[in-house]
Amino acid sequence: MPIWKTSAVWTWVVGLSLFCGTFLLFSRAIPHDFIDLDDGDYVTDNPTVQAGLTEPGLRWALTASVAANWHPLTLLSHMLDCEFFGANAHGHHATSVFLHALNAVLAFLVLRRLTGSLRLSAVSAALFAWHPLRAESVAWIAERKDVLSVGFGLLALWSYAVYAERRRAGTGRAGWYYALTLTWFLLGLLCKPMLVTLPFLLLLLDYWPLQRPGAGPGWLCLEKIPFLALSVGSSIVTYWVQKDAGAMGNTFTLQARLANAAFSVARYLGKFFWPFDLAVGYPFPDRWPPAGVFGATGLVLGITGLAVWQRRRQPWLFVGWFWFLGMLVPVLGLVQAGLQSTPTCRFWVCNWLCFGRQPNSFRRRPCGWPPRWLRSRWDVVWHEPGTSSASGKIQGPCMSIPSRSLRTIIWRAFISAPPSSMSNDLPRRQPSSVKRSS
């Protein structure tokens, strides 16, 4: 067989193509400057971070709470950027774009390992990397934590897949890959606690595509205990840090938070298929319409019932849907933190379609998306000398990062949100260059 037809060669070709394509698509973020939304907390107004990698800075990063969060590895990443690039935002953006390009390759390798399908893994990884929902986390420097946590999470999934294969085959070093998975998971939590539900997601992978029920449910649950212990510890630290920073509260009743959770699931699902009018935050409304609450709840229950009913015939649907719900749990607002109805931790939660492995289960091709009839709409922001990933109207994957004053677009997106306790407070916090439209 010619060498160019071998699987290893095509894996390298696809991986390199994904890296270069992703870097080029998001390279439009590199010329941008810092913004006045959270970037000050992490970099521009943080003298310890701006000093670069120093011994006092390392000690500070391990104990500091920044923007009501504790994520020491994220702070070390920003310090490293300041060490090399100083206050030049272009270097910080380039780092985020580079890391996201690496994540695209990691997503492909993980899916390749889990499913064995080269083509579907390549298409799914491209969808993951090039979807408009990725833009905010990549081009907003304050969201570096998203990019880092996803990278370590993908490494944990890859190591776990190797561990499961070696344990099933009875070959050596399975324990080493288990320890490696636990290490990647810990590092991901130190970047952002969004990964706290990973132990339950690993159980889903045990069901499919790893198909490990033969190992026994007792053992499968037992081997997740160290992961669960790390998740519990991270959750406790996060709750304590956010409460100490005043981010926790009882502004909204339990009924309102449950209604918001149903709406959030439906909203995330809708943004995956129709990524228009995106914003850095969705303010909590004064009241959810009852018809909308029942509709969103019915949608969630309906898809859940379908996934359970088809779990044997279409296991990808079962695993994918519960993966989607599982990754949403930390950001559904059941435990109130802030005034947003739907936080924008989009990096993990909308990737459930990437697990479609069966021949007819997933046929979307990123090279032909968006379709021709949609491009005229998607070009709206492309032709504006515009914003960045954190803008209120992120459109296509390569159109998501235009180039006008980023802060102006961001605050306009907030101001245009429906009236609420959060949006009513915006005039006191917005930059003076932005005026509330009548």
The predicted-structure confidence for 50-75, as pLDDT tens digits, reads as follows 999 999 999 999 999 998 899 999 99
Angle formed by the axes of helices 290-309 and 254-273, nearest 10°:
60
Identify the CA nearest to 61 among candidates 50, 45, 49.
49
Mind listing the pLDDT tens digit of every residue in the chain (438 residues)?
Answer: 555 456 889 999 999 999 999 999 999 999 999 998 899 999 999 999 999 999 999 999 999 999 889 999 999 999 999 999 999 999 999 999 999 999 999 999 999 999 888 999 999 999 999 999 889 899 999 999 999 999 999 999 999 999 999 998 888 789 999 999 999 999 999 999 999 999 999 999 999 999 997 778 899 999 999 999 999 999 999 989 988 887 776 677 788 888 888 988 998 888 888 888 777 777 777 778 889 899 999 999 999 999 999 999 999 899 999 999 998 888 887 776 554 545 444 545 445 544 544 333 333 333 343 444 344 433 333 333 333 333 333 344 444 565 455 555 555 555 555 444 343 343 333 433 333 333
Cα 153 to Cα 184: distance, rounded to the nearest angstrom: 7
Residue 281 near residue 415 (C-beta atoms within 8 A): no
Cα 24 to Cα 27: distance, rounded to the nearest angstrom: 5
pLDDT in tens, 279-323: 777 777 777 888 989 999 999 999 999 999 999 999 989 999 999
Cα 37 to Cα 57: distance, rounded to the nearest angstrom: 23
Contacts with 17 (C-beta within 8 Å, 6 or more apart), sequence order? none
Cα 357 to Cα 114: distance, rounded to the nearest angstrom: 9
Residue 285 identity (one-letter amino acid): P
Calculate Rg over the CA atoms of the chain.
Answer: 22
Residue 294 near residue 372 (C-beta atoms within 8 A): no
pLDDT in tens, 105-163: 999 999 999 988 899 999 999 999 999 988 989 999 999 999 999 999 999 999 999 99
Cα 397 to Cα 131: distance, rounded to the nearest angstrom: 5
* Tokens coding 26: 């998001």
